[in-house]
Structure 1
């Protein structure tokens, strides 16, 4: 897999309270990924980019939300979320030690 496709698959880490709880309890990391990405592609991209061993990938499609803007209805776009299980002893630090 080429470097350009890796950056197309992995859009951003999804940092939230739920993802922090999942990460501490199950050694998982949550990413926002491209809608066209498959589980093997996500696993290969995370392994190549962060140099970690991936145990498994679970995917969730986040549905679009209906919102109003100045009284007019609108729709936020939906996106795909990937829960990546890392091998025992592996870790990804997005803050790069900034909290110390």
Structure 2
């Protein structure tokens, strides 16, 4: 099971980076302890706090010739990680 799927790089999350908070999309079955260990091992930083939330996928509806077609985007689990003061994660390293 791969715990970290991808980092979430949005305007809101980039603003939180200055406060030492980083967001990741994680596996739905991962818990806070597993997320903390993975981030510390992968990026070599000290994690102080992990907050998780599950977001339900948005409902999408479109009109076609055959009528209305409805569906739902995939649900995801996010983890917002707070690092020890003075530590950072550089997502753009090596680009």
Q: Is the pair's TM-score, using the shorter chain for normalization, greater than 0.5?
A: yes
How many equivalent residue pairs? 91
Structure 2 counterpart of 1:16: 10
- Superposed CA offset, 1:57-81 (max 9, x none): 0001111110124440011111000
Corresponding position of 1:95: 92
The Cα RMSD (Å) is 1.4
Structure 2: 5+ residue stretches without partners: none
Greater C-alpha radius of gyration: 2
Shift of 1:21: 1.1
Corresponding residue number in structure 2 for 1:44 = 37
1:79 aligns to 2:73 (yes or no)? no
Tell me which stretches of 4 or more aligned residues in structure 1 moved more than 6 Å. Answer: none
Taking structure 2 as the reference length, the TM-score comes to 0.89
Whether 1:59 aligns to 2:52 is: yes
Greater strand content: 2
**CA apart distance, 1:94:** 0.4
- Tell me, in whole angstroms, the C-alpha distance in 1 between the residues paired with 2:17 and 2:78: 14
